[in-house]
Structure formats: C-alpha cells, structure tokens
Amino acid sequence: MWKGSSGFRPFDPQISFHCPPKPFPDTWSARWHGRLQVPTDGTYEFIVKSNGWAQLELNRKTLIEQSADNSSRGQIELTQGRYPITIKYRQTNMYADLQVAWKTPDGVTEIIPYWHLIPSTD
C-alpha cells in the first residue's frame, strides 16, 4: 500500500480536504508526516473523519485507525511540546474526504490549525 515513489509532494497547511474523482486515479493513497506542536498540557481528543481508510499515529503510536466511511476518536494525555505525527489515508470510493481535528483541554474542537503542524523535510 505505501510502496513506490510519490507522484507529487504537496504541502497541506491543514489536513482537511474534499476532492472530486478527478484529477486523481481510481485508487490512491497519501501520507502526511511531521510534528505536532502541543500548546498546553492536558487531555487531547483527536477526531479523524474520512470516507476511506485512515490512520493517525502520534508519538509513534497508533491512536486512531478506521476502515470505513465514518468518524473516529482517540484521547491522549500530552504535555506542551512537539510530537511526531503521521496521518495515512487511502481513498476507497469515488470522492476523497479527510479531516483531522482535535479537542483541546479547554474544550475547543477544530480542524488542527496550521500553526500547530510542522511539516517534515524528508
């Protein structure tokens, strides 16, 4: 599933998209990796909404994995700092939809703001 070279290397400031069937092939996958900047200590809830297979790894541990068109959640205690994050997605039907959000310790639920996502340079 994650073999071969990338067809392109876009930079997405946020992980929230809806793509019609074109210009992508019938089946494709994507992987985003970098660091998550956590602003304060506390319990964070991560929410992945997608219409395909998706996985969220945080600090090198799988927090969420889903295989169907739905929304999945996972909670984790974090302290202020930077954590490795990887999101994998595989489109499984005509359209591609993926949103990655969090609920912060102060109760705010939002798509993870771009200033908290630091892209990998490799």
Tens digit of pLDDT at every position of the chain (122 positions):
444 454 444 545 566 555 665 555 666 777 888 999 999 999 999 999 888 889 999 999 999 998 877 789 999 999 999 999 999 988 776 667 788 999 999 999 999 998 999 888 76
Cα-Cα-Cα-Cα torsion 103, 105, 107, 108, nearest 10 degrees, comes to -50
Q: What integer pLDDT is reported at residue 9 of this predicted model? A: 47
Q: What integer pLDDT is reported at residue 21 of this predicted model? A: 57
- What's CA 7's distance to the chain center, in Å? 19
> Which 3 state secondary structure label does DSSP give 115?
helix
Q: What integer pLDDT is reported at residue 25 of this predicted model? A: 60
Look up residue 106 and give its DSSP letter. Answer: T
For 14, the enclosing helix (H) or strand (E) is: none
Q: Which CATH class is domain 16-119?
A: mainly beta
Answer for the pair 99, 16: CB distance below 8 angstroms, yes or no.
yes
Answer for the pair 45, 32: CB distance below 8 angstroms, yes or no.
no
Q: What integer pLDDT is reported at residue 105 of this predicted model? A: 98
Q: What integer pLDDT is reported at residue 16 of this predicted model? A: 58
Answer for the pair 97, 24: CB distance below 8 angstroms, yes or no.
no
